[in-house]
Structure 1
Amino acid sequence: MNCARLAVLLTCYNRKSKTLDCLQRLFNQDFTSEVSLDVYLVDDGSTDGTADAIRQTYPQVKIFSGTGSLFWNGGMRYAFEEALKGDYDYYVWLNDDTMLYPNALAALLETSAQLAAKGEDKAIVAGSTQDPDTQEFTYGGIKQHGPLFPPFKVRSIEPTDTPQKCDAMCGNIVLIPRSVVQRVGNLDPQLTHYAGDWDYGLRAKQEGCTVWIAPGYQGTCPRNPTPEPGSVPKLEEGLKKMGQPKGLALQDVTLQSFDEWKIIMKRHGGLLWPIFWLLPYRRLLPTMLFRNPKKA
């Protein structure tokens, strides 16, 4: 059997301990067949010595430097761009706060092979994560509610003992075969941080590819914290955060810049995209305006 060549893509910023733990679990993976791993990591301007620590501990990692303005989508795109020069069999997205189980990548590769044997030879395979303390599902595959709902009105798909078809995926652990990359290419350069992973999955479907989750869990990753109910900032502060790469996180939605959200909705929202584009902002503006009445 030929050796499968994998390029593993990461981006990091000031999480030295987590990044090193993540890499340790990556290099300790158990495989049932011949696999080679090349790791492409973008350090986006860390000031905590992350890059130096990686060079000392894992000199085989290919490190690329950012300026601190790349964030998730930009950093992963940079790593992806460099890895594409190697024409690998598979490209693996991996978040540095995701701790892989020993057989995680083997499970993704096995699922990919099973799907290919059934004719699904252009299939993205995502892994699912669970909270390290509660063991509850955190990230993985997502399913859209339907064409009359906003494209990001979704439900999570918890893993079972068989592969499950999805519409898109969170980018924590994702296996992308060369056949998909040849159709979809890289992450979108117009996006900075939020929704680049979901957008990639939806674009893959538009190009005739499919998205699946592998059976079982492949690692742990705690869910990102959400603001307290009713914690709405003042108008000026809210608009400022909306214009930043990570957006404004509310309890059940993250509001992005108007421009980036418009790109996503126009691409995936169909004829109703203008409504879907403006719909999320209704959660914020009336409340903030009420809390900031004009002075007489």
Structure 2
Amino acid sequence: MKKIKIAILFTCFNRKKITLRTVRHFDLYRSLYQLSFYIVDDLSSDNTVEELKKLNTKKINMFQTKGNYYYSKSMSLGMKKILDSHDVFDYLLIINDDVNFNDFFLNKMVLFQQKNNCITIGACCDSSHKLSYGGIKFKSMFSTKYEMIGPNKSSVSCDTFNGNCVLIPYEWFQQIGPMDSFYSHSFGDFDFGLQFKKNHFPMHVMNEYVGICNRNEKKNTWLDSKLSVLKRIKLKESPKGSPFLSTFYFYSKNFNVFFAIKCSLFQYFRILLKK
């Protein structure tokens, strides 16, 4: 029986043990699938690349940036490399390497995808088993407010997703193309998912969690209301914050110019009001 071919893409930066743990997890599936890793390292200084190269029993395609690509640019680069390889896959699996995956989650995702013919979103829970990442459903076409969708609402058709774990039919990925390289860090996965929505590809959350991944803390980020106004603005405009140009671009591209102006300015009002 021909093995299902899956390209697995993720980025990494200076968390060698976590990255190696994630790659080794996929040993569980070696007999079932033909797996090819595409890993984009954002110039780690902890020998991540060297350690990954030692795993010569796996098909690992390593790419290293010049630094400061962050999540979205790195994912965009990785997707371009996959498409440029001209290899033929059945699925693209995008993951974050900090997800502590449950055993055999991939088998369940493939079965769910085959049954429902959809992009399959693997939701994550935090250490207290509360939903932390999953599918995204906007309240309406006239609102940027959204609900995060978890495994208990697998019948809900999502608008986009957190990119922590998503299984995408490869032919659909080929039609949409890579993640938009305009973004450095934030917005990339949301924007990527919205392109599938615009092209009427269905997205559903699998009906059980794929693993544990705690939410990023707000402390010492631009969302931390305890910081000074100037400090928060500086953090907001940093690549890992919510820079004005990225915010405006995302909302104008996926909603409209009115939303882009409103959402871009609202972030500054939020800081000034210490919210």
TM-score (norm 1): 0.84
| Ranges in structure 1 where 5+ consecutive residues have no aligned partner | 117-122, 248-255, 289-296
In 1, the alpha carbon distance for the partners of 2:245 and 2:257 equals 18
**Residue 291 (structure 1) aligns with:** none
Asked whether the 8 Å contact 1:30–1:106 carries over to 2, the reply is: no
Counterpart mapping for 1:47-66 below 5 A: 47-58=45-56, 60=58, 61-66=60-65
Asked whether the 8 Å contact 1:269–1:276 carries over to 2, the reply is: no
In 2, the alpha carbon distance for the partners of 1:286 and 1:214 equals 39
TM-superposed deviation, 1:222: 1.4
TM-superposed deviation, 1:206: 0.7
Counterpart mapping for 1:155-170 below 5 A: 155-160=147-152, 162-170=154-162
In 2, the alpha carbon distance for the partners of 1:230 and 1:286 equals 9
The one of 256, 269, 272 equivalent to 1:282 is 269
Report how many residues are paired: 268
**Residue 17 (structure 1) aligns with:** 17
Equivalent AA in structure 1 for residue 164 of structure 2: N
TM-superposed deviation, 1:80: 1.3
**Residue 127 (structure 1) aligns with:** 122
Asked whether the 8 Å contact 1:129–1:220 carries over to 2, the reply is: yes
**Residue 237 (structure 2) aligns with:** 243
| SS of equivalent to 1:93 | strand
TM-superposed deviation, 1:286: 4.7
In 1, the alpha carbon distance for the partners of 2:27 and 2:268 equals 43
In 2, the alpha carbon distance for the partners of 1:19 and 1:4 equals 24
**Residue 43 (structure 2) aligns with:** 45
Equivalent AA in structure 1 for residue 132 of structure 2: T
Change (3 A) 1:162 1:242: closer
TM-superposition CA deviations, 1:130-180 (whole Å, max 9, x none): 12x312221111111112322xx2111121385542111101111111232
In 1, the alpha carbon distance for the partners of 2:23 and 2:274 equals 44
Does residue 1:230 correspond to 2:225, yes or no?
Answer: yes
- RMSD over equivalenced CA pairs, Å: 2.1
| SS of equivalent to 1:187 | coil
Asked whether the 8 Å contact 2:9–2:95 carries over to 1, the reply is: yes
Equivalent AA in structure 1 for residue 177 of structure 2: G
| SS of equivalent to 1:53 | helix
In 2, the alpha carbon distance for the partners of 1:238 and 1:107 equals 42
| SS of equivalent to 2:183 | coil
The one of 208, 222, 232 equivalent to 1:216 is 208
| SS of equivalent to 2:248 | helix
Asked whether the 8 Å contact 2:179–2:192 carries over to 1, the reply is: yes
TM-superposed deviation, 1:189: 1.0
TM-superposition CA deviations, 1:7-37 (whole Å, max 9, x none): 0001100001111111121222487xx4210
Percent of aligned pairs sharing the same letter: 27
TM-score (norm 2): 0.90
The one of 183, 206, 210 equivalent to 2:198 is 206
| Ranges in structure 2 where 5+ consecutive residues have no aligned partner | none
TM-superposed deviation, 1:287: 4.5
Decide which moves more: 265-274 or 141-150: 265-274
Does residue 1:103 correspond to 2:104, yes or no?
Answer: yes
In 1, the alpha carbon distance for the partners of 2:167 and 2:143 equals 28
Does residue 1:67 correspond to 2:66, yes or no?
Answer: yes
Asked whether the 8 Å contact 1:41–1:64 carries over to 2, the reply is: yes
Asked whether the 8 Å contact 2:39–2:63 carries over to 1, the reply is: yes
**Residue 78 (structure 1) aligns with:** 77
Asked whether the 8 Å contact 1:26–1:100 carries over to 2, the reply is: no
In 1, the alpha carbon distance for the partners of 2:62 and 2:243 equals 30
